[in-house]
Amino acid sequence: MSESEGPTRRVGRPRTAVLSHERILEAAFELADANGPEFSLASLARRLGVQPSALHHYFPTKAALIAAMRGQITLRLGTHGFDEQPWYEAILPWARASIEAFGRHPGLIAALATLPIDGEPESIADYERIVAALERDGYPSDLIVPALVALESFIIGSALDGLTPPDNLRPVHEPERSPALLRTEAAARAAASAAGITPAQRTFEFGLRALVAGLRAVGDAGAEPRTTDADAPASRGISG
């Protein structure tokens, strides 16, 4: 959109500002859409026709810019009717919109995943809506945030999985050494093809339903003191 291939602006403050938070964010999304994991401030500056250092006047660090992008993405997710439907219904379109949004910006997924939420009003508001629905539906209080985070972890991991080639798990080098993998990978790829979607998309939809069903089962049994405790086994496996 904004081409401006550098009429070599001279030094000093321009008469009218060339940049703004909005213009930078817009160009940043264009750059992130042009797929490939190459998202750098330098290439963003090139696209905007400015020097890289000019960007730091609006966003102090690269992480701050990405945090702002995350806020925009969250805004566009929409509400998905958590107020009208039970959480396990409304969460499905929310999850689909989330991975779709992540998939549109391949170069950002890893960065978005590790970014602290911190003071991000949009993400906080999004979480608040979902958490409130779980509370309203009687989900066990101390398992609401874990359920939400587990779901988001699955979404993030699936988004990264979507970056791998469609036949990523196909044993091409020594197929005779992994016959079961060869068989089942072909079956899964054929099923995805028949459905007109990628294997990664089919995997996501399948895993999403399984995870939500599992989370729901625990929540329904949530009135009693919880025999399906989530705490016990961790002491025998996971460390720091």
Partner DNA sequence: ACCTGAACACCGTTCAAGT
Euclidean distance between CA atoms 56 and 65, whole angstroms: 9
| Contact call for residues 148 and 123 (beta carbons, < 8 A) | no
Per CB under 7 A, does 5 bind DNA?
Answer: no
The amino acid sitting at 115 is: L
Return the number of the residue (47 or 80) whose C-beta is nearest DNA: 47
25 binding a second copy? (CB under 8 A):
no
Residue 55 beta carbon to a second copy: minimum distance, rounded to whole angstroms: 22
Residue of 159, 150, 78, 43 lying closest to 112 (CA atoms)? 159
Rounded distance between C-alpha atoms, residue 135 and residue 137, angstroms: 5
- CA distance linking residue 232 with residue 228, whole number of Å: 9
Residue number, 54 or 77, with CB nearest to DNA:
54
Using CB under 7 A as the binding rule, whether residue 17 contacts DNA is answered as yes
Q: How far is the CB of 110 from DNA (least distance, A)?
A: 13
> Could you tell me which of 61, 48, 62 has the C-alpha nearest to residue 14?
48
| Interface with a second copy, residue 67, by CB under 8 A | no
Cα–Cα distance, 11 to 179 (Å, whole number): 66
Q: Which of 57, 136, 183, 209 binds DNA (CB under 7 A)?
A: 57
Point out which span in 10-18, 46-54, 66-74, 117-125 binds a second copy (CB under 8 A): 117-125
* Among 3, 5, 53, 194, contact with DNA (rule: CB under 7 A): 53
Q: Using CB under 7 A, list all residues that contact DNA.
A: 8-14, 17-19, 38-43, 49-54, 56-58, 60-63
